[in-house]
Chain A
Amino acid sequence: MSTFEDYKGQKPAWCPGCGNFAILSTLKKALVDLNMGPHQFAIVSGIGQGAKLPHYLACNLFNGLHGRSLPVATGLKLANHDLTVLTVAGDGDCYGEGGNHLLHAIRRNVNITLFVHNNQVYALTKGQASPTTMAGTVTKTQPFGNPSEPLNPLALAIALDCSFVARAFAGASGLPFLQEIMKEAINHKGFALVDILQNCVSFNMVNTFHWYKERVYRLEDGYDPTDRVEAFRRSLEWGEKIPTGIFYRNKRETCEQRLPPIRAMSLARQPVFRPEARQEVDHFY
């Protein structure tokens, strides 16, 4: 059995009061619940405050480039699908710089879990608008107010028939629910997106902890996450009330299942060299 202490990593360099702390400790609890030892999974991340998370818990990790966590996670999972692969990204990282990769990761449906730390602002670069910043928000680089409408990651994912789509809130009241959603997402066979609303104490003075707390609520008992149209309808709800929970899930075949070369065994387990391939030279005569 693994314990919370098994996942002890480096000391976080986040601002005191940052929502990332809650996400980190909740993820550790979820991993304890899943009894997944630090060596049994890998976390891939890009760049941003949230993307530093894998350093702060014991795990295999690939902290790559801004926006590029999903391609790395895809390559890793296709190379070794025996390894659980998690991806941690921020809203700028995943919805901005890496937006194209998200679309195609959803289409491809590799069995990886993506946690997006969504604080609706660029924090590492000190407070510019992110793809989820609300229109009109004034920042140092958007002095006339952000002219763009925010991206709705859930609606986007459901429109693309993403295999698992959820939203959670990283405030104290939402953490047990976040823990359950994390476990469901990791256990789900297919690409899972969990958008996690969190505050940024340094740069987002609009969407504060209290702003979220007043708005978030859980999707009601009896909500059917297999109803894609209803899921899409609920994903559009944003403003006075913000639903959280598992919006949508389906049983799409994963990319790994569709690739015959790795059906019997992961690539990493197959022989490194195939000397019999030398016979291929004969085909050129």
Chain B
Amino acid sequence: MEYTIRVGGEAGQGLLSIGNALTKILSRYGFHVFSHQDYMSRIRGGHNFYQIRFADSPIAASREQVDVLLALDINTIELHRHDLRAGGKIVYDAASLGTKFSDQEFLDIPLARIVEENGADQIMVNSVAIGAILGLFGLELDLFAMIIRSTMQKKGEGVMATNIAVAQAGLDYIGQNYPEIGSLKVVKPQSKGQMLITGNQAIGLGALLSGCKFFAAYPMSPSTSIMQYLADKALKYGIIVEQAEDEISAINMALGASYGGVRAMTATSGGGFALMTEGLSLAGITEIPVVIAEVQRPGPATGLPTRTEQGDLFFVLYGGHGEFPKVVLTPGTPEQAFHLTNKAFHLAEKYQIPVIIQSDQYLADSEWTFPGLDTEHLQNEDFRLRDEALKGMSSYKRYDQSDNGVSPLAVPGASRHLVAVDSDEHDEEGHLIEDAPTRIAMVAKRLHKKMPLIQQEIAPPTYFGPSQAETVLVGYGSTFGVLQEVCARLIERHLIGLLHFTEVWPFPILEKFDYVALLKQAALTICVENNASGQFAKLLRMETGFACSANINKYDGRPFLVDTLLGEINEHLRGL
């Protein structure tokens, strides 16, 4: 069993409220839910939609066809009507939209009139619509009422009761006027409720549970909700969330705070990351731990501000002048984003390097359901030298030439030892130098000694499929869910597997898993990327010498959807 609901309308019509409420209700019932949002860079008007797919088995991608289309404006009907699956329904309010459709897939529900009859505010058409949709699927209002009571408490009993009453009216209207619709009725799962989380929330939660104490950023879609999440937790857990004047300031503030002894982070999108690259390089030479979330949107320049792309891979890999070690992690799901954020802090602190979590709008805003997150095995170890540890030291040098390149990281002011860091090349004490032998020794320490150790920390790609695959799909980052589903659908008739990378720099070594051997024995290898130039395929070739035999690239600012991608892969399979 699986269904897709698409809610369409103008910005400002409450799509987000309807979508959020429905995903919450469905996940609490125990359904597996996946939602994604398609919105324009504007506050009012235009056309946006919120799509929810729910099923009784795990899902992690969106599909093209919809079972229920809730049209809050006439534009939605024109744009999406052709996506309706046979037997699907379009829910709309003929009076409000000013047009009556007679085709049998249309369900006219007087959303506005129901609100009026209940003496409610027009904003509550959203609640009527939620009631109607729940009615269509044969569900009840119990969870809706619970959500209203937990989120609208401040608005008072009257507002809560009216919302529930109009939702009931919407649900009843479906039952009374369209009793013949039984085809969409679902059976509630026996399992307990699922957790529902977006990619950005998972990064925020991961940072919180990894001891992030300082977060500075400049708001930029689609990264901003990470800052919002942490700001919401700031008081409870002692975090400073500072909105900087620009991204240059944001990363420099984070470095100042990290130098001061606390775990620090920033987040941005491509344009902001461009401004941060100078500071990234500063983190490199000063060896100050910092975590940066780069949540991509399509460029160049302002590009498509609210849409998705994997176009910044090379930019992030090579961002920052000069040569210094960094780590780039590319989660494919919120669960991976959570764990990789923990890993980002762990590696940043352990090796005193910048670590970048690269995500994109699709992962950032999409909601996934999971049975839960493992918070028992987080890697939280404090690598800094604080009060007691410092008191016992007879001398201290910030850039002490240790065997493994990792020098002791002391907190300034915590003892009599002075902590000096410099953006110039420096000696062991942190004072600027220009002589060649010290320069060579410092490059060796920062880069040559640390890099092999960092390389060992990088997890190999995950492989799903037969050991002797004829076809291997290759991907990284947010395409994980859709690739996994496509692969699962093809595996019945093909010897096909999926090789997916979530840790891309340093590029995974072959000692842990010889994925190149796996690729070499396949007749067809297709690298699937949400960008125009196939950056990951190029990276794979640069690092391993292996060239994929085909590429599928999508760069329209939209995510891959299951059915279209299936079609494209089938084209390649036919050529086998």
Contact = CB atoms under 8 A, between A and B. Distances in A.
A18 interface: no
Nearest to B281: A65
A154 interface: no
A44 B239 CA distance: 23
B245 A267 contact: no
B531 interface: no
B205 A79 contact: no
B262 A273 contact: no
Contact of B413 (A61, A83, A262): A83
Interface in A74-90: 74-80, 82-83
B424 interface: yes
A62 B249 contact: no
Interface string A247-283: 0000000000001111000011010111001101100
Contacts of A52: 432
B429 to A, nearest CB: 9
A80 B194 CA distance: 40
Interface stretch (B81-89, B253-261, B300-308, B467-475): B253-261
B246 A100 contact: yes
A113 B489 CA distance: 64
Contacts, number: 199
A103 to B, nearest CB: 7
B330 interface: no
A221 B246 CA distance: 41
B416 interface: yes
Nearest to B434: A13
B532 to A, nearest CB: 33
Contact of B253 (A74, A103, A270, A284): A74
A79 B382 contact: no
A128 to B, nearest CB: 20
A72 B259 contact: yes
Contacts of B348: none
Interface string B183-201: 0000000000111110001
Nearest to B376: A278
A206 B501 CA distance: 61
28 contacts: A39-B412, A39-B415, A60-B418, A61-B419, A62-B420, A64-B252, A64-B423, A71-B216, A72-B252, A72-B253, A75-B255, A75-B256, A78-B257, A79-B240, A79-B260, A79-B262, A104-B244, A260-B235, A261-B240, A272-B382, A273-B380, A274-B211, A277-B209, A278-B375, A280-B209, A284-B197, A284-B201, A285-B196
Given A272-B384, A281-B373, 9 more contacts: A42-B413, A52-B432, A60-B418, A64-B286, A72-B253, A75-B252, A83-B412, A268-B260, A284-B195
Interface of B: 27-28, 193-197, 201, 205, 208-209, 211, 213-214, 216, 233-235, 237-240, 242, 244-246, 248-250, 252-264, 278-279, 282, 286, 372-373, 375, 380, 382, 384, 411-424, 430-432
Interface of A: 10, 37-42, 44, 47, 52, 54-55, 58-65, 68, 70-80, 82-83, 100-101, 103-104, 259-262, 267-268, 270, 272-274, 277-278, 280-281, 284-285
